[in-house]
């Protein structure tokens, strides 16, 4: 089985999480000490080119401006020279909020507020103060760092 590389350095794992405009792969950065990352590849050829290009541009710009501990970090972005696909390389987040709450339910409101609700609201406020609105906040879209 041949490993698929994006940008000549990010080795993609099989079985991505698929969304409306992109697929997200767990990957290894072959140049940066096998660092685990997420690679989001926009669905080239399935969506009109100008819409795809604009979506990529907006998401990239938003992530560049949103440097906050509660917001996933953009590591790299671009257009793959071999495939022509737009991609984002993001820090890898092990779980989403839905999975986290199933596996580790909070002991009560105070625990939930401190560990989940308040950090999420801080990140949303930071984003909104910079006129960036997510538009699809739900537990499966809130990512949790490995503890």
In this structure, are 47 and 28 located in the same domain? yes
In this structure, are 25 and 42 located in the same domain? yes
State the pLDDT confidence band at 46, using cuts at 50, 70 and 90: low
Give the separation between CA 112 and CA 14, rounded to whole angstroms.
Answer: 34
Residue 9 confidence (pLDDT) above 80:
yes
Task: Of 70, 64, 44, give the one whose Cα is nearest residue 123.
Answer: 70
Residue 119 confidence (pLDDT) above 90:
yes
Give the torsion sign (CA, 127, 133, 136, 138). positive
Res 1: pLDDT: 67
Residue 147 confidence (pLDDT) above 60:
no
Provide the CATH number for the domain around residue 25: 3.30.200.20
In this structure, are 51 and 123 located in the same domain? no
In this structure, are 86 and 97 located in the same domain? no
Residue ending a domain, among 92, 109, 137, is 92
Give the torsion sign (CA, 100, 101, 102, 103). positive
Is 136 noted as a catalytic residue in this protein? yes
Quote the DSSP letter at residue 139. G
In this structure, are 71 and 104 located in the same domain? no
In this structure, are 66 and 21 located in the same domain? yes
In this structure, are 9 and 63 located in the same domain? yes
Q: Which of 29, 50, 80, 136 is catalytic?
A: 136
Domain extent at residue 20 = 1-92
In this structure, are 79 and 97 located in the same domain? no
**Are the beta carbons of 92 and 137 closer than 8 angstroms?**
no
- The SS3 assignment for 107 reads coil
Query: What residue spans of 4-80 are helical by DSSP H?
Result: 49-65
Residue ending a domain, among 92, 110, 138, is 92
Beta bridge partner(s), residue 23: 18, 41
In this structure, are 22 and 85 located in the same domain? yes
How many structural domains are present in the chain? 2
Query: What residue spans of 14-48 are helical by DSSP H?
Result: none
67-93 pLDDT, tens digit per residue, is 999 999 999 999 999 989 999 999 999
In this structure, are 31 and 77 located in the same domain? yes
In this structure, are 80 and 114 located in the same domain? no
In this structure, are 84 and 12 located in the same domain? yes
């Amino acid at each position: 089985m041949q490993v698929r590389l994006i940008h000549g350095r990010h080795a993609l794992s099989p079985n991505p999480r698929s969304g409306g405009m992109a697929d997200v792969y767990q990957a290894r950065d072959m140049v940066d000490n096998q660092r685990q990352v997420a690679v989001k590849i926009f669905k080239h050829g399935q969506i009109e080119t100008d819409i795809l290009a604009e979506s990529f541009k907006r998401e990239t710009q938003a992530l560049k401006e949103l440097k906050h501990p509660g917001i996933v970090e953009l590591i790299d972005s671009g257009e793959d020279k071999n495939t022509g696909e737009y991609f984002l390389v993001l820090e890898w987040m092990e779980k989403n909020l839905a999975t986290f709450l199933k596996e580790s339910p909070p002991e009560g409101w105070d625990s939930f507020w401190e560990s989940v609700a308040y950090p999420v609201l801080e990140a949303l406020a930071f984003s909104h103060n910079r006129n960036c609105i997510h538009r699809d906040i739900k537990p499966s879209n809130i990512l949790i760092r490995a503890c």
